[in-house]
Amino acid sequence: MHAMMKTLTFVLLVLQCTMGARREDNQWLISREDAGDPDNQDFARQNFHEDCEAGINKQINLEMFAGYTYRSMASYFNRDDVALKGVADFFRHHSEEELEHAQLLEEFQNKRGGRVVYENLRKPEKDTWGSALEAMQAALTLEKNVNQRLINLHKTAGQHNDMQMQDFLDSHFMTEQVEGIKQIADYITNLKRVGTGLGEYMFDQHTLSGGK
């Protein structure tokens, strides 16, 4: 009977996501009953505020969106009429990295006794990304957005005296985000310096190793 209840709950969740159900701010975090935990038994939960739990779920969604966007960029630069293999591999690596970040957050959520709840995943803003410079500029905007959300999440953890969550974010995200932003900013400077055409090709071959 309990297994049947869980199966029914899962089906209802899938239908809810398919219909595009959303909640405003923290209100989108569904209840324990909706998440398939009718007994509301959070055995591992201690000093883990609902604001932190909701913030983690939002960050998971953002990391997955970033990974989806970088995947789109990688596919575009691997096209036969674009053929910048180094740029394609750069964005493919970033896509995999963002999905790894989402997985880290999912594991953290479960470790703290929270419940992972997914939102609808938006498609990338574009299907074509123009030049390598234009794509790097879009990537820089995306990385800064992800970083700002992480900063806000870190603040939320501090407001609720969750030092372990702050340590987790410091260890796995904060420094890496700053370094990633600096790397993309450097690439933008160099791409502006060399220009399009042959300069862009040389950047792809030498700076990004041509995908080798």
d(CA 48, CA 50): 7
Residue 83 pLDDT grade (very low, low, confident, very high; cuts 50, 70, 90): very high
pLDDT at 13 over 50: no
Q: Rounded to the nearest 10 degrees, what angle do helices 132-159 and 85-111 cross at? A: 10
Q: How far is CA 142 from the centre of its chain?
A: 10
Dihedral over Cα of 181, 186, 191, 193: its sign = positive
How does pLDDT run across 92-118, given as a tens digit for each residue? 999 999 999 999 999 999 899 899 999
Per-residue pLDDT of 54-69, as tens digits, reads 999 999 999 999 999 9
In the prediction, which pLDDT does 3 show? Answer: 44
Q: Are 147 and 96 in contact (CB under 8 A)?
A: no
Mean pLDDT over all residues of the chain?
Answer: 85
